[in-house]
């Protein structure tokens, strides 16, 4: 395992990427990796959908505890 694992680096940048707080260079770097890595692309897409879903849920009914737990389980890293 090297420190230069591109997927690990990509994962680190996922939250800031979603929050749109990356610099242009970092963003370009992440997008380049996403273009060529199916694994990370899936993770980003999943995270993106999850965020949208959670945002919608905030404005809808209060989320049942079981659903909240299910979402928390889904967020654990895929191995
Ligand atoms: Zn990757």
74 C-alpha to ligand 1 centroid (Å): 19
What spacing in Å lies between the alpha carbon of 43 and ligand 1's midpoint?
9
Provide the whole-model pTM.
Answer: 0.62
Q: pLDDT of 18-66, one tens digit each?
A: 999 999 999 999 999 999 999 999 999 999 999 988 888 777 766 678 8
Q: How far is the CA of 62 from the centre of ligand 1 (A)?
A: 35
| Cα 43 to Cα 39: distance, rounded to the nearest angstrom | 6
- Ligand 1 centroid – CA 32 distance (Å): 10
Asked whether the CA dihedral 34, 39, 42, 46 is positive or negative, the reply is: negative
pLDDT for the residue 41: 96
Contact 75, 44 (CB under 8 A): no
Cα 36 to chain center, whole Å?
A: 17
């Amino acid at each position: 395992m090297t420190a230069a694992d591109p997927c690990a680096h990509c994962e680190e940048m996922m939250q800031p990427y979603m929050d749109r707080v990356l610099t242009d260079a970092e963003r370009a770097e992440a997008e380049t990796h996403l273009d060529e890595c199916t694994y990370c692309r899936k993770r980003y897409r999943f995270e993106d959908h999850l965020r949208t879903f959670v945002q919608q849920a905030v404005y809808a009914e209060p989320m049942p505890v079981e659903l909240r737990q299910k979402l928390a389980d889904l967020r654990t890293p895929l191995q």
